[in-house]
């Protein structure tokens, strides 16, 4: 095992109460405050990498990043930090101070994330993540992660993966990371190793989301919903006001009315009996959908989705699955779509599963997976290695779904 537990709570401390800025280095003045943690307009950052044509500015910033990581990650060997930061396969996103007196020095770097991308596998491993002690509890940890996610989309990265110590797990959960690894193991197995004292965590990077605009998007959606509610709401009129509910009397009356009613429908009946609920436009079916019955349905759907993703992940880990992991490149195989009218592959199936409403049951998933076998056998000669993989996959699927 390699020795690295590179992400610590102290290095990326957010607005949680786990740790205050160090008393030996009090917070410096900054334009950012607790009121503008979602504002990126005043954020300066740069993508830096040690390349043969690196500019002096880039090299100075790399040195600043190395110093930041060494200071905020004291348990990490300085030589190890320097080796990764200056490794030409690693990139870093550096948050830059807007203080003119800090330009060109270590103090210019107020935060950074160092990562290594694996373009062929469409994921990246975060090696180091830190924010200067004097700039913590200002939202820079979240901004740093959102900026690197936005940049990752331009590189075609689908997943970030990292190892965090136990104190940093909370931070990464806030940033959308999970201990549940949904990325197929075959994509990262052999490229990264287990690290002592660390917990592996993963974050899916959605290609159509601008992560720096999430608060803005939520605010717009909230305003839209409130505007729609105001069109029919009567809470601001005398008609829409009701006297306080005498709960004891209400409960006694409902206990009598609910005799003989199915237990799963009691909550919806009680809600419908509250003055104003029906007048607000709620129906019995609406309330049933928001109570226990629908929650059980949602739980079943999530369970089935999890099982389907597990099937895909296990299939991708098989040695014979390599021809089926990605769509056939029709720019190279010119006549493929002339012969195969309904192409399918594991990555397409995975996207459909994540969408949530494509596969209604396991049989539908089985049909799509067996269609991969059928397509492969139809297009390829029986003596080809592709055909052999299709035969092996078919046997595997029969056993898997039996």
Q: Which residues contact 212 (CB under 8 A, 6 or more apart)?
A: 40, 143, 146, 147, 150
Q: Which residues contact 6 (CB under 8 A, 6 or more apart)?
A: 73, 76, 126, 127, 128, 129, 162, 163, 195, 198
CB 13 within 8 A of CB 136: yes
pLDDT tens sequence across 279-337: 878 888 888 877 665 666 677 788 899 999 999 999 998 999 999 999 999 999 999 99
Q: How far apart are CA 263 and CA 242, in angstroms?
A: 28
Q: Is the overall model pTM greater than 0.85, yes or no?
A: no
- Helix or strand holding residue 163 (H, E): strand 159-164
Residue 173 pLDDT? 93
Question: Which residues in the chain come in under a pLDDT of 70?
Answer: 1-38, 291-297
How many residues are listed for the chain in this entry?
Answer: 402
- 47: phi then psi, degrees, rounded to nearest 5: -90, 120
- 88: phi then psi, degrees, rounded to nearest 5: -75, -10
* Residue written as token pair 């055909």: 387
Q: How buried is 49 (Cβ within 10 angstroms: 0-12 exposed, 13-18 middle, 19+ buried)? A: middle
**What's the per-residue H, E or C state across 95-161?**
EECCCHHHCCCHHHEEEEEEEEEECCCCEEEEEEEEECHHHCCCCHHHHHHHHHHHHHHHCCCCEEE
Tell me, yes or no, if 125 is annotated catalytic: yes
Residue 204 pLDDT? 93
Q: Which residue stretches of 279-331 are H helix?
A: 284-290, 292-316
Residue (of 82, 176, 69) closest to 113 by Cα position = 69
Q: How far apart are CA 167 and CA 16, in angstroms?
A: 12
Q: How buried is 217 (Cβ within 10 angstroms: 0-12 exposed, 13-18 middle, 19+ buried)? A: exposed
Residue 277 pLDDT? 86
Which 3 state secondary structure label does DSSP give 271? Answer: helix
Catalytic residue (one of 125, 316, 350, 394): 125
Read off the tokens for 345: 């592959």
- Helix or strand holding residue 202 (H, E): strand 199-204
Which 3 state secondary structure label does DSSP give 83? Answer: helix
Residue (of 155, 176, 137) closest to 93 by Cα position = 155
pLDDT tens sequence across 351-399: 999 887 899 999 999 999 999 999 999 999 999 999 999 999 999 999 9
Maximum distance among all Cα pairs of the chain, rounded to whole angstroms:
82
Residue 190: C-alpha distances to residues 118, 323, 325, 393 (Å): 12, 20, 18, 23
Q: How far apart are CA 6 and CA 195, in angstroms?
A: 9
- Helix or strand holding residue 203 (H, E): strand 199-204
């Amino acid at each position: 095992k390699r020795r690295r537990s590179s992400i610590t709570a102290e290095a990326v401390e957010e607005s949680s109460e786990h740790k205050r800025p160090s008393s030996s280095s009090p917070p410096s003045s900054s334009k950012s405050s607790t009121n503008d943690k979602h504002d990126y307009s005043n954020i300066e950052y740069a993508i830096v990498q040690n390349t043969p044509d690196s500019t002096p500015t880039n090299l100075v910033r790399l040195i600043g990043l190395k110093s930041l990581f060494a200071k905020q990650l004291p348990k990490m060997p300085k030589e190890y930090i320097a080796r990764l930061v200056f490794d030409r396969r690693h990139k870093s996103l550096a948050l830059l101070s807007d203080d003119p007196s800090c330009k060109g020095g270590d103090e210019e770097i107020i935060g950074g994330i160092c990562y290594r991308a694996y373009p062929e596998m469409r994921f990246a491993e975060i090696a180091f993540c830190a924010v200067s002690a004097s700039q913590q509890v200002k939202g820079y940890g979240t901004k740093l992660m959102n900026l690197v996610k936005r940049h990752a989309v331009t590189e075609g990265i689908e997943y970030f993966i990292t190892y965090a110590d136990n104190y940093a797990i909370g931070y990464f959960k806030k940033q959308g990371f999970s201990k549940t690894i949904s990325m197929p193991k075959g994509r990262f197995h052999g490229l990264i190793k287990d690290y002592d004292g660390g917990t592996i965590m993963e974050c899916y990077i959605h290609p159509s989301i601008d992560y720096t605009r999430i608060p803005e998007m939520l605010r717009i959606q909230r305003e839209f919903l409130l505007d729609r509610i105001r069109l029919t709401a009567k809470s601001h009129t005398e008609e829409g006001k009701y006297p306080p509910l005498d709960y004891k009397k209400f409960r006694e009356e409902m206990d009598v009315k609910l005799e003989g009613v199915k237990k799963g429908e009691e909550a919806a009946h009680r809600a419908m009996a509250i003055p104003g609920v029906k007048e607000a436009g709620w129906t019995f079916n609406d309330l049933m959908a928001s109570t226990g019955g629908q929650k059980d349905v949602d739980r079943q759907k999530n369970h089935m989705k999890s099982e389907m993703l597990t099937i895909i992940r296990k299939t991708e880990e098989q040695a014979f699955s390599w021809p089926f992991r990605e769509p056939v490149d029709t720019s190279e195989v010119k006549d493929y779509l002339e012969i195969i009218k309904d192409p399918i592959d594991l990555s397409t199936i995975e996207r459909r599963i994540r969408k949530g409403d494509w596969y209604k049951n396991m049989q539908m998933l089985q049909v799509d997976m067996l269609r991969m076998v059928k397509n492969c056998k139809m297009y390829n000669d029986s003596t080809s290695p592709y055909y052999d993989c299709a035969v092996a996959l078919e046997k595997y699927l029969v056993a898997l779904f039996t």
